Amino acid sequence: MGTRCGDLDPAILFYLGDKGYDVKRLNRICNKESGLLGLSGVSNDVRSLVEIARRDDGRAKLAVDVFCYRIKKYIGAYAAVLDTVDALVFTGGIGENAVGLREQICSGLTQIGVRIDEGANSAAIAEEAEISAKNSRVKVLVVPTNEQAAIANDTYELSGDRLPAASR
């Protein structure tokens, strides 16, 4: 989460309430001052945090590490309830462009069959690609998205014949 707290022990809210925090302040902390922003102290944008972490900023590095850890944790949780994992797909701005994050997320997932090819991963920027290593049991893919085109297509499909003739 960029600014939201994610998982927490609900008892912390009562503890902070006893320390004088009112509901408005708790709401602001949990929804506007936590997540990547709260961990890093500088940004909720992953791209920025990766750059800041490269300059040896410990809090930005912590935020990036927690981000990757949480994704890895969810992949493991889904793998635990599925009979098999056929593919791991990276998409969206981060998934399409963040070579280092894909590598960090996939490291440690070998027990479920995920292995990436470093060269293929490095080359896959904003293009459809398979980045799996030859010995990977799970296909690892990069699939670009075009959210504007999807929204336009959905809008067109939903509008049917209601569009004015000049708009068709």
Q: Residue 97 CB: number of other CB atoms within 10 A?
A: 16
Query: In the prediction, which pLDDT does 164 show?
Result: 55
Query: In the prediction, which pLDDT does 166 show?
Result: 55
Same domain, 103 and 166: yes
Query: In the prediction, which pLDDT does 165 show?
Result: 55
Domain end (from 83, 104, 120): 83
CATH code of residue 65 = 3.30.420.40
Same domain, 32 and 98: no
State the Cα–Cα distance between residues 20 and 5, nearest whole angstrom.
20
Same domain, 161 and 125: yes
Digit-by-digit pLDDT tens for the chain (168 residues) are: 899 998 899 999 999 999 999 999 999 999 999 999 999 999 999 999 999 999 999 999 999 999 999 999 999 999 999 988 999 999 988 899 999 999 999 999 999 999 999 999 999 998 999 999 999 999 999 999 888 887 888 888 887 755 555 554
Same domain, 88 and 164: yes
The range of the structural domain enclosing residue 4 comes to 1-83
Same domain, 99 and 61: no
Same domain, 27 and 99: no
The domain tally of the chain equals 2
pLDDT digits (tens, 9 = 90+) for 52-79: 999 999 999 999 999 999 999 999 999 9
Q: Residue 23 CB: number of other CB atoms within 10 A?
A: 9
Domain end (from 83, 106, 139): 83
Same domain, 98 and 18: no
Query: In the prediction, which pLDDT does 147 show?
Result: 81
Same domain, 91 and 68: no
Query: In the prediction, which pLDDT does 72 show?
Result: 96
Task: Specify the pTM.
Answer: 0.82
Question: Got the DSSP string for the chain?
Answer: --SS--S--THHHHHHHHTT--HHHHHHHHHHS-HHHHHHSS-S-HHHHHHHHHTT-HHHHHHHHHHHHHHHHHHHHHHHHSS---EEEEEHHHHHH-HHHHHHHHTT-GGGT--B-HHHHHH-SSS-EE-B-TT-SSEEEEE---HHHHHHHHHHHHHGGGS-GGG-
Same domain, 109 and 153: yes
